[in-house]
Each structure stands twice: as structure tokens, then as C-alpha cells.
Amino acid sequence: MTFATEIDIPRELLRRFECAESVLVLTGAGISAESGVPTFRGGGNTAVWKGMPFDVISSASMVQRNLAAVWEWFDFRRGVLQSLEPNEGHRAIAQWERLVPELTLVTQNVDGLHQKAGSQSVIELHGNIWRARCTSCETRYAITPDEDRSDLCVSCGYPLRPDVVLFGELLPAGAFELAGERASSCDLCFVVGTSSLVYPAASIPEIAKAAGAYLCEINPEPTPLSHICDTVIRGKAGEVLPLISNQNKLSTATANQVNIR
């Protein structure tokens, strides 16, 4: 295992990035925290919204009991996110779509910052806070910052709810399965800004590693996944990921100059 403590990108990682046919990136709350996104995660008896802990107001049972309160909470969250912008980590991953033959981006985040940075195809394991979903027919609707949110489905008239995975709910149908399939066939897997504590998302890099992929973790702190990684870089996504892109482009440019000569 290679450890990098001062943003020092191992040559082996750069070589594998340059040669990879298929790259998978799994991102968690850490990458968005660098843009100012609060985790909103309480814990224990921490009251985060009108006396209710995070895992109560953000639960499937609360949708059944008091959907209006759930919407009030998620409307507040979108208000916090509205002015935030993607950071250099988000932008680097979006750029990678043009640098590697196949890039699979899997995120546990619901803030939409990857799409805002330009990523075209994102597997959202936990949904998206900028969408609503019908509680009956499951028709989805975009929520825009400058328009009033609708409360009812135009297709069937049933109430809408936030299109995010709440406590007590399963992941969206097919999302984890697709991520697992891509993980089992990737050459290189990055785990970025995630605690690696939340399953089944945490099993995606394990699937990649078991299938023979080179595994790189980018996180300021150790995680339960660190010990199985081939490379661990202790740093922030916004500082580390652009270095991988830039050094790869520099390497390619140098190689091209040599070929020309």
C-alpha cells in the first residue's frame, strides 16, 4: 500500500489512470463539504429541526405522518444549498469524462453539485434534493430555485415527496446494481470523501477490489476501507483530484512532444 501525506501523487496511480479503460469514482459527503454543504447529520438526541433529530425528520415514517414537515425541512435544506457552487474536486471528475474511455461516477450525495460541475452521467445512490417524486405513480419532477414547488402530481393528483432516500427506505431500484456491475469491471476505483461506513454504498469499492481493480482512497482521515486500498492519499478532494488531471495532461503532452521529435 502506498501512502501520500503531502499531496504527492504516486507515479503508479498516474500510470494506471493514464492507461485505464474504465474508471469508477465513488463520492461521499466530504467532497461536497468542501463547497460548504452541511452534512445535516445529527446523531443520538441531536435536535436539528424544530426539536426533531435528523433521522426522524428525514425518515420514511415521517413522510407518512407529516409530509408537510418533511417538505419544510427539505425546502430549508435547498435554501442552504442554492448559493453553493461545485469545487475543484467536482470539476476535476467532470473533466475526467473526457480523459478516460469510460468513467462511472457514483455518489451518495443528494446536492446535485456533480451535475452542476458538468458531469453528464451520475449514478445517484441516495436520490437528488432538487427532484420531487409522486407518492403513488413515482413520476419525478425537477425542482428549480426560481419556481414554486408543486405539492401534487399532475399525472395522478397524489402528493409529491422529496426524491431522496430516507431512513428506513431502500436505494432506488437498479442504482446499486448498476454501480456494482460497473465496479466489477473497472480497472481503477477512486473512493473520495466518504466515511465508508454506510452500506451498501461502502461495498462498491470492495467489489472493485475483489475484481482486481486498483483502489485509491482520497480522504483527510482514515476509514474502514483504508487498509485494503492500494494507494491512500490524505487530503481534500478539491486539492488532490485536479493534480491527477493536470499531471496526466502534462504526461500526455510530454509524450506527444517526444513522438513528434
Is beta strand 52-53 parallel, antiparallel or unpaired with respect to 231-233? unpaired
How many Å apart are CA 19 and CA 248, to the nearest integer? 10
Residues of the domain holding 46: 38-83+131-164
CB 235 within 8 A of CB 7: yes
Instruction: Tell me: do 10 and 121 sit in the same domain.
Output: yes
Q: Where are the alpha helices (DSSP H) in the chain?
A: 11-19, 29-33, 54-57, 60-65, 67-81, 88-96, 113-117, 175-183, 203-210, 237-260
CB 217 within 8 A of CB 231: yes
Instruction: Tell me: do 137 and 190 sit in the same domain.
Output: no
Domain tally, the chain: 2
For residue 126, indicate whether it is catalytic.
Answer: yes
Of 90, 114, 126, 227, catalytic: 126
Instruction: Tell me: do 175 and 59 sit in the same domain.
Output: no
Look at the block and give the residue holding cell 431522496. 164
Name the domain boundary from 108, 139, 164: 164
ω into 222 cis (within 30 of 0)? no
Instruction: Tell me: do 59 and 183 sit in the same domain.
Output: no
Look at the block and give the residue holding cell 478516460. 100
How many Å apart are CA 158 and CA 173, to the nearest integer? 21
Instruction: Tell me the residue type at 244.
Output: I
Instruction: Tell me: do 78 and 202 sit in the same domain.
Output: no
**Per-residue model confidence as pLDDT tens for the chain (261 residues):** 655 546 789 999 999 999 999 999 999 999 999 999 987 654 444 567 788 888 899 999 999 999 999 999 999 999 999 999 999 999 999 999 999 999 999 999 999 999 999 999 999 999 999 999 999 999 999 999 888 899 999 999 999 999 999 999 999 999 999 999 999 999 999 999 999 888 999 999 999 999 999 999 999 999 999 999 999 999 999 999 999 988 655 444 333 332 322
Please list the residues that pair with 107 across neighbouring strands: 27, 124
Query: Among residues 85, 92, 86, 81, which one has the least CA distance to residue 128?
Result: 81
Residue 226 DSSP symbol: G
Instruction: Tell me: do 11 and 107 sit in the same domain.
Output: yes
C-alpha grid cell for residue 143?
Answer: 425542482
CB 42 within 8 A of CB 122: no
Residue 91 belongs to a domain with what CATH number? 3.40.50.1220
In sequence order, the 6+-apart residues with CB closer than 8 A to the CB of 213 are 24, 183, 186, 187, 188, 189
